[in-house]
C-alpha cells in the first residue's frame, strides 16, 4: 500500500482556486470612459465588478484618441467601447505598433447606419437607394452628429462621391441631443426624416424606427464592440485581465442602462449596481476562474458586495 505525503493529501483534499491573486501593482484598475452614454454605462459596470472583487477601479474621462494613447503610455489599463467598424481608423496605429490588444467582442449584434421612422419605411423609404427619390420631401437633408464625428464622415463620403445619387443632399451636423430633438419633432408632426442611428441607444426604445438596408459599403456589414487592453496587462495582472476578457453585454441590456442614465439622469455607477442586481446571472460567466484581489472566490464576493442573495 502506497502512502500519500501529507502535503499531497492537503493539496487533494482542500478546495483550491485555479488562479492566484494579482500582485499589489494591479490593485488600481483604470478603465477609460470616452463619455458616450453606452461607454459610460459599460465602463461603470466593469468598475463596479472590480470594486466588488476588492480592486480599486477608476474611470478617467478621456477622448477616444487619448484613451489609446494613455494605454500606450501605461496610464490606462482597459477600454470597453472600441466600436468596429467605425472606430477602426482610430485604433489602427496602436494595434500596428503593438501597444494595445483587442481581447474580446463584448457586444455583438450592434447596429449603425441611417434610419427613418417606421411610418416613413411603410411609405416606401426602406433602403439607401430609396433616399434620393425622397429628396424634396426630405428637403435634401440627412441629420448627423457633431462636426468632426467619425460617423458623419461616412455620410459626407456618400454625398461627395454621389453614392446612391445623393450629390444634392447636405448633412446637418449637431449634437446627439440636437439630432434626436429634430427626430422627435418630425415624429410628432409625422414628417419624413433620415438620420444617423445606432444600437444600443435609448432612441430604439423612444422611437419606432427602421434601419435602412443597402448601406453595407458605407457603414460595414455589422457593428460590434471590442474590449481593449494595454499590451502586457495579461502578464502583469492575469486575474484582472481574465475578468475584462469575459465581460459580455447585450443590446437590450445596454439600451436599458443607457435610457436610465440619459433620460432619467441616474449616475452611471448607480445604474450599474442596479443593473447587476437585476441581472445577477451574468456574474457566473464573467467571474469564471476569477478571484478577488486577495485570492478568494470571486463570484461569492461579488454577490455579497452587491447585495445579491
Residues 29 and 156 in one domain: no
Is 140 inside any structural domain?
yes
- Residue of 147 and 173 predicted with greater confidence: 173
Confidence of residue 88 (pLDDT cuts 50, 70, 90): confident
| pLDDT, position 7 | 36
**For 89-99, what is the mean pLDDT?**
96
Mean pLDDT value across the chain: 92
**For 258-266, what is the mean pLDDT?**
94
Q: CA-CA-CA-CA torsion for 283, 254, 42, 39, nearest 10 degrees? A: 170
* pLDDT of residue 12 exceeding 60: no
Out of 204, 219, 234, pick the residue that ends a domain: 219
Nearest to 132 by CA among 217, 214, 220: 214
Is 19 inside any structural domain?
no
**For 283-305, what is the mean pLDDT?**
98
Residues 70 and 201 in one domain: no
Is 131 inside any structural domain?
yes
Residues 251 and 265 in one domain: yes
Is 16 inside any structural domain?
no
Cβ pair 38, 66 in contact under 8 A: no
Residues 190 and 232 in one domain: no
Is 9 inside any structural domain?
no
- Residue of 241 and 87 predicted with greater confidence: 241
Residues 194 and 126 in one domain: yes
Buried-state track 125-157, b at ≥16 Cβ within 10 A, e below 16: bbebebbbebeeebebebbbbeeebebbebbee
Give the residue ranges of DSSP H helices in the chain: 6-13, 37-52, 64-72, 88-96, 118-122, 150-160, 176-188, 203-206, 216-219, 233-236, 238-246, 251-262, 268-278, 281-286, 298-306
| pLDDT, position 298 | 98
Cβ pair 61, 79 in contact under 8 A: no
Confidence of residue 282 (pLDDT cuts 50, 70, 90): very high
Domain tally, the chain: 2
Residues 122 and 101 in one domain: no
Nearest to 241 by CA among 23, 81, 83, 34: 23
Residues 214 and 199 in one domain: yes
Q: On the CB side of 59, how many CA atoms lie within 13 Å of its CA?
A: 21
Question: What gap in Å lies between CA 309 and CA 303, rounded to an integer?
Answer: 7
Residues 83 and 130 in one domain: no
Out of 201, 219, 237, pick the residue that ends a domain: 219
Is 8 inside any structural domain?
no
**For 104-120, what is the mean pLDDT?**
96
Q: What are phi and psi of 24, to 5 degrees?
A: -60, -30
| pLDDT, position 14 | 38
**For 222-228, what is the mean pLDDT?**
94
Out of 199, 219, 239, pick the residue that ends a domain: 219
CATH of the domain at 209: 3.40.190.100
Is 100 inside any structural domain?
yes
* pLDDT of residue 20 exceeding 70: no
Cell numbers found for residue 287? 467571474
CA 307 to mean position of chain CA atoms: 26
Is 230 inside any structural domain?
yes
CATH of the domain at 286: 3.40.190.10
Cell numbers found for residue 278? 437585476
Residues 81 and 230 in one domain: yes
Residues 191 and 246 in one domain: no
- Reported pTM: 0.84
Give the contacts of 177 (CB within 8 A, at least 6 positions apart).
none
* pLDDT of residue 297 exceeding 80: yes
Question: By residue range, what is the domain housing residue 195?
Answer: 110-219
Residues 101 and 236 in one domain: yes
**For 178-183, what is the mean pLDDT?**
96
Residues 131 and 149 in one domain: yes
Amino acid at each position: 500500500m502506497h502512502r500519500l505525503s501529507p502535503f499531497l493529501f492537503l493539496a487533494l483534499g482542500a478546495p483550491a482556486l485555479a488562479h492566484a491573486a494579482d500582485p499589489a501593482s494591479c490593485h488600481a484598475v483604470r478603465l477609460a470612459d470616452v463619455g458616450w452614454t453606452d461607454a459610460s454605462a459599460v465602463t461603470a459596470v466593469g468598475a463596479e465588478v472590480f470594486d466588488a472583487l476588492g480592486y480599486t477601479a477608476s474611470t478617467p474621462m478621456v477622448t477616444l484618441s487619448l484613451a489609446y494613447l494613455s494605454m500606450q503610455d501605461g496610464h490606462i489599463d482597459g477600454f470597453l467601447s472600441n466600436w468596429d467598424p467605425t472606430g477602426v481608423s482610430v485604433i489602427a496605429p496602436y494595434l500596428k505598433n503593438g501597444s494595445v490588444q483587442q481581447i474580446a467582442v463584448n457586444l455583438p449584434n450592434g447596429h449603425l447606419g441611417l434610419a427613418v421612422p417606421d411610418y416613413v419605411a411603410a411609405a416606401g423609404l426602406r433602403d439607401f437607394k430609396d433616399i434620393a427619390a425622397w429628396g424634396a420631401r426630405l428637403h435634401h437633408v440627412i441629420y448627423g452628429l457633431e462636426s468632426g464625428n467619425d460617423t458623419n464622415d461616412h455620410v459626407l463620403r456618400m454625398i461627395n462621391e454621389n453614392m446612391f445619387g445623393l450629390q444634392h443632399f447636405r448633412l446637418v451636423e449637431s449634437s446627439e441631443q440636437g439630432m434626436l430633438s429634430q427626430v422627435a419633432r418630425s415624429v410628432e408632426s409625422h414628417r419624413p426624416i433620415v438620420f444617423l442611428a445606432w444600437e444600443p441607444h435609448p432612441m430604439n426604445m423612444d422611437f419606432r424606427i427602421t434601419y435602412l438596408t443597402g448601406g453595407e459599403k458605407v457603414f460595414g456589414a455589422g457593428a460590434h464592440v471590442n474590449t481593449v487592453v494595454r499590451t502586457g496587462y495579461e502578464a502583469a495582472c492575469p486575474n484582472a485581465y481574465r475578468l475584462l476578457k469575459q465581460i459580455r453585454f447585450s443590446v437590450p441590456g445596454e439600451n436599458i442602462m443607457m435610457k436610465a442614465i440619459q433620460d432619467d439622469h441616474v449616475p452611471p455607477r448607480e445604474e450599474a449596481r442596479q443593473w447587476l442586481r437585476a441581472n445577477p446571472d451574468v456574474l457566473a460567466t464573467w467571474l469564471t476562474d476569477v478571484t478577488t484581489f486577495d485570492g478568494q472566490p470571486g463570484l461569492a464576493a461579488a454577490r455579497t458586495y452587491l447585495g445579491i442573495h
